Amino acid sequence: MITRRDFLKTGGYAALGSLVLSGELSAALFKKMYPVGLQLFTFFNQIDDDVPGTLKKIAGIGYKEIESAFSKKGGYYGMKPKEFSKLVSDLGMSWKSHHVIGAPFKMPANAKPMTDANGNPIKFPTMRNLKDNMQELVDEIAEAGIPYMVCANIPTKTSEEVKNSIGILNRTGEACKKANIILAYHNHTGEFEKPEGETQTAYDMFLSQLSPDIKMELDLCWATKAGIDPVELFKRNPGRFHLWHVKDLSKDKTGPVAVGEGIIDFKRIFQNADVAGMKHFFVEHDMPADPYASITTSYNNLQKIMS
């Protein structure tokens, strides 16, 4: 997607530069250039029960772009890449990105197994990962015709883990480049900690040691919770943050809430979209009690924030 600056340089819009950069016209153009997207992990507990129905309701709220995630049905919500892409397109939305994991999934220590409504353990299909299934995943994203594949997480607790993870991501980035797609990395809070014996955080090591072709998907909530100022991060690494996860942090800083209900200054962050190099952003709320209510609140508040 073009930046605001690129947009103003094209066609007759260049003559409108002074008008476009102020007032309602600027807001309208900004919204057109950056349609509101949604990360489907928000609906992890619901979407597999009715994929077409869930997507139809999401489109009805006003969302225009989709980022997909792991499905209990396997594949792409039980579909092949092109099949899922057509479903999204037929509903007037565009599939822009898909999340994968970087290494074999391990349940957190002391985590309870997930159960269904009857208390029975939920059986999940195997979660493919970049360490073991990289080329297969790259080929599927290329088949889908979407521009981004995002590594949702990868081990970063120790120096050795960070070193191995950088290797996996750089190899994946090369494969993605050959397939004409872009690899991005999504953070939680742990990446902003320093592995034992290191003078840099894992995230800073990623920024300096990953290929510049690999971009970042900055999760604004988790970065803020880790004490990071997103705008300062953009300024230190301009153009690197193609994707954002837009979700708010609760006032007590314990976890995510709908956009506009927490402490994050989204207006200031969006004013620095060009500095970041942002191309797409996706609303996300991890395991909300009522995902439809949450994404409706987020969408409505974003319309005000982006004005």
Position 109 scores a pLDDT of 66
Per-residue pLDDT of 242-265, as tens digits, reads 999 999 999 999 999 999 999 999
Instruction: Report the CATH number of the 34-105+129-305 domain.
Output: 3.20.20.150
In percent, the amount of the chain with pLDDT more than 90 equals 81
Nearest to 194 by CA among 204, 185, 207: 204
pTM over 0.85: yes
Position 24 scores a pLDDT of 54
Q: Is the pLDDT of residue 107 over 70?
A: no
Beta bridge partners of 215: 184
Mean pLDDT estimate for the chain: 91
Nearest to 43 by CA among 81, 4, 72, 19: 72
In percent, the amount of the chain with pLDDT more than 70 equals 88
Q: In the structure encoding, which two tokens stand for residue 130, read together?
A: 């970049």
Per-residue pLDDT of 207-242, as tens digits, reads 999 999 999 999 999 999 999 999 999 999 999 999
Position 22 scores a pLDDT of 43
pLDDT band at 126 (very low <50, low <70, confident <90, very high): confident
The distance from CA 230 to its chain's CA centroid, rounded to whole angstroms, is: 15
